[in-house]
Structure 1
Amino acid sequence: MNRDLNICVVIPVHQPVPSVHELISLKAAASKLNIYDCYLVHPQGMDISAYTAVFANLILQPVDALCLTSVEQYNKLKLNLAFYKLFEAYQYMLTYELDAYIFDADFEAVGALEFDFIGAPFFEGYWDAAPGAQLVKGCNSGFSIRNNHSCIQVLSAMGRFKPGWFLYRVSLAYSSRLRQWLNKITGGKYEIYLSGKFAFYFADFHLNEDVVWTEVVPQMFPCFKVADPISALKFSFEYNLADSLRLNGDKLPLGCHAWQKHIDFWGPYIDARKPTNDLE
């Protein structure tokens, strides 16, 4: 493992008393990620002693409490340029939500740093994906690595799309013939202005930030490189776990997301005993 990698770890929390499962996830982070600067992103003024009791080396990063009051507000935070600039000193940002679990931090071994965004791959149907569903473009954010500098570049340039978004939204939304013609000659690139997917950044519209980063941003910024599904499986699993394991050559990924929802699968691999302050 390269201890010199320029990575920070961001652990977002919103309540002062973590669940037993969240403490298990935090203990894993304390064990596997302690060589990196690990930031506890928490509401300003919240008691965080339950977290530091398990992971004493956490660096505290308070944010406006509103940013962590709901999933929607959290998604907006993760699309906010100011948030990424808090960690501008680091090239890479590992997001580690406390429904994630890390087995190994050898990020270079799986090529995780070759991409601008990598996380558990999506299957067709997303949360409702059926066994045998096809892998599709996009990655989950709950346990993910993104190139922080690339994210800053994207968000810094986002404003230039606002006039175009407004123009296409107003001019073409009600003209199906013109819309079809435009999609034909542009390969559908600007359809995103009309479908509402990109409106999240400019309007009061809710869309998960990982969908924005891994499905929307690459359409607008082709240089933004999202991990392909097979590469992403080496890094993390979330859905269709039996299929994921098979597709990954019966090897565990570096980590996983939403493990608490799939105890039957993850139980043999995750020590679900209640953690104490002793990390040994």
Structure 2
Amino acid sequence: MKHFVDRKDVCVIIPMHKPVLSDLENISFQRIVNKFSSRKIFIICPAKVSEALAKMSSKYPNIEVKIFDDKYFGKIIRHNNLLLSLEFYTAFDSYNFLLICHLDVMVIKDELDYWIQQPYDVVGAPILEGYHNDTTGKIKPKGSNGGYSLRNIKSCIKVLSSNNLCFNRLSSLWEMEKIWYWKIFRLMRDGIIYNYNVFNLKPRINEDMFWSVIAPDKFAWFKACPPQKALRFAFDANPRALFKLSDGQPPMAIHAWWRYDKEFVLHLVDKVETGELQPNEKIAI
């Protein structure tokens, strides 16, 4: 393991809600620990699994388990609530940035020093216009996936401390999509169904859409990384198509790597690890 110093520029966050990992999750976990061995890593989890996870991670001097309320774990909507809460970001406010790294992420390399120097408050994997069944070969002009996402902590706290969070602009969601049926889907789900909780008018949009689409639209100072540039940061959903769009350049990580194209991702990682692919060198697969 590399020498570890708890620098305050960026920390890595791994959400976990169960005490035992699957074989594929364990592969992801070991890659995260290996590639970010010189950085502070926090496992965030509910109290009921904290003891088991603390024991599992005790051999790693750079890993710390941090407990959040059970209400934030087990379902996507609970995860959304956590990542849209002041409680979450203030828990890490001694750092400048945090990197959310789920257990379905394959980390290829550590380029965090580059990304934290960029003028963005949020960076995530770009989204294909046709999502994982893409036939367009194009990425959306707005929006990014939150499974592997870098965020400026102070900027997120500033947004969540604002009084202007009652609703999402429907025009932002409409402009995110190019295909008409996705426009209707986005408008209905994130604009109407998820937009309002009838009991208290609290936003319930998916957290990654909030940070990558809504927050930059509402707050001119809050900057999301342009999707074309974010290809260097991460892939999601259809890594083979995104690899072509990136002109043969591998990203820092690939989200949902076994769900969509496990064979391709493992082959790409092998090319990088064996030295067949050098930094800034293109590769054809």
Q: Percent identity?
A: 28
- Tell me, in whole angstroms, the C-alpha distance in 1 between the residues paired with 2:109 and 2:75: 30
- Tell me, in whole angstroms, the C-alpha distance in 2 between the residues paired with 1:203 and 1:115: 29
Query: Does the residue aligned with 1:60 lie in a helix, a strand or coil?
Result: strand
Partner of 2:196: 199
Partner of 1:264: 263
Query: Does the residue aligned with 1:227 lie in a helix, a strand or coil?
Result: coil
Partner of 2:97: 92
Partner of 1:44: 47
Summarize the alignment of residues 47-196 of structure 1 with structure 2, pairs less than 5 Å apart. Answer: 47-48=52-53, 51-52=56-57, 55=60, 57-109=62-114, 113-130=118-135, 132-157=137-162, 159-162=163-166, 165=167, 195-196=191-192
- Tell me, in whole angstroms, the C-alpha distance in 1 between the residues paired with 2:212 and 2:97: 16
The C-alpha deviation readout for 1:101-123, integer Å capped at 9, x for no partner, is 21111224467743111111011
RMSD of equivalent CA atoms: 2.9
Query: Does the residue aligned with 2:244 lie in a helix, a strand or coil?
Result: helix
Task: Indicate whether 1:15 and 2:7 are aligned.
Answer: no
**Contact 2:132–2:238 (8 Å) recurs in 1:** no
**Contact 1:121–1:140 (8 Å) recurs in 2:** yes
- Please report how far the alpha carbon of residue 68 of structure 1 lies from its aligned counterpart in structure 2 after TM superposition: 0.4
Query: Does the residue aligned with 1:145 lie in a helix, a strand or coil?
Result: strand
- Please report how far the alpha carbon of residue 76 of structure 1 lies from its aligned counterpart in structure 2 after TM superposition: 0.6
- Tell me, in whole angstroms, the C-alpha distance in 1 between the residues paired with 2:44 and 2:72: 10
**Contact 1:112–1:235 (8 Å) recurs in 2:** no
Partner of 1:178: none
Equivalent in 233, 237, 240 of residue 239 of structure 1: 237
**Contact 2:123–2:233 (8 Å) recurs in 1:** yes
**Contact 1:26–1:55 (8 Å) recurs in 2:** no
- Tell me, in whole angstroms, the C-alpha distance in 2 between the residues paired with 1:224 and 1:90: 18
Summarize the alignment of residues 221-240 of structure 1 with structure 2, pairs less than 5 Å apart. Answer: 221-240=219-238
Partner of 1:175: none
**Contact 1:41–1:62 (8 Å) recurs in 2:** yes
- Tell me, in whole angstroms, the C-alpha distance in 2 between the residues paired with 1:119 and 1:234: 10
- Tell me, in whole angstroms, the C-alpha distance in 1 between the residues paired with 2:165 and 2:67: 31
Instruction: Indicate how the Cα distance of structure 1 residues 151 and 200 shifts in structure 2: closer, same or farther if over 3 A, else same.
Output: farther
The C-alpha deviation readout for 1:125-169, integer Å capped at 9, x for no partner, is 334433524433111111110111100000011x2443xx59x99
Query: Does the residue aligned with 2:146 lie in a helix, a strand or coil?
Result: strand
Partner of 1:32: 35
- Please report how far the alpha carbon of residue 267 of structure 1 lies from its aligned counterpart in structure 2 after TM superposition: 2.0
**Contact 2:128–2:137 (8 Å) recurs in 1:** no
Amino acid at match of 2:75: S
**Contact 2:126–2:230 (8 Å) recurs in 1:** yes
**Contact 2:130–2:136 (8 Å) recurs in 1:** no
Instruction: Indicate how the Cα distance of structure 1 residues 128 and 52 shifts in structure 2: closer, same or farther if over 3 A, else same.
Output: same
Q: Normalising by the residue count of structure 2, what TM-score does the alignment of the two structures yield?
A: 0.76
- Tell me, in whole angstroms, the C-alpha distance in 2 between the residues paired with 1:151 and 1:200: 22
**Contact 2:109–2:253 (8 Å) recurs in 1:** yes
Deviates more, 1:196-205 or 1:24-33: 196-205
- Please report how far the alpha carbon of residue 256 of structure 1 lies from its aligned counterpart in structure 2 after TM superposition: 1.0
- Please report how far the alpha carbon of residue 205 of structure 1 lies from its aligned counterpart in structure 2 after TM superposition: 6.3
- Tell me, in whole angstroms, the C-alpha distance in 1 between the residues paired with 2:97 and 2:118: 8
5+ long unaligned stretches in structure 2: 171-186, 271-285
**Contact 1:26–1:54 (8 Å) recurs in 2:** no
Deviates more, 1:199-208 or 1:252-261: 199-208
Aligned length: 243
Amino acid at match of 1:154: V
Q: Normalising by the residue count of structure 1, what TM-score does the alignment of the two structures yield?
A: 0.77
- Please report how far the alpha carbon of residue 198 of structure 1 lies from its aligned counterpart in structure 2 after TM superposition: 4.3
- Tell me, in whole angstroms, the C-alpha distance in 1 between the residues paired with 2:67 and 2:115: 32
5+ long unaligned stretches in structure 1: 170-190, 272-280
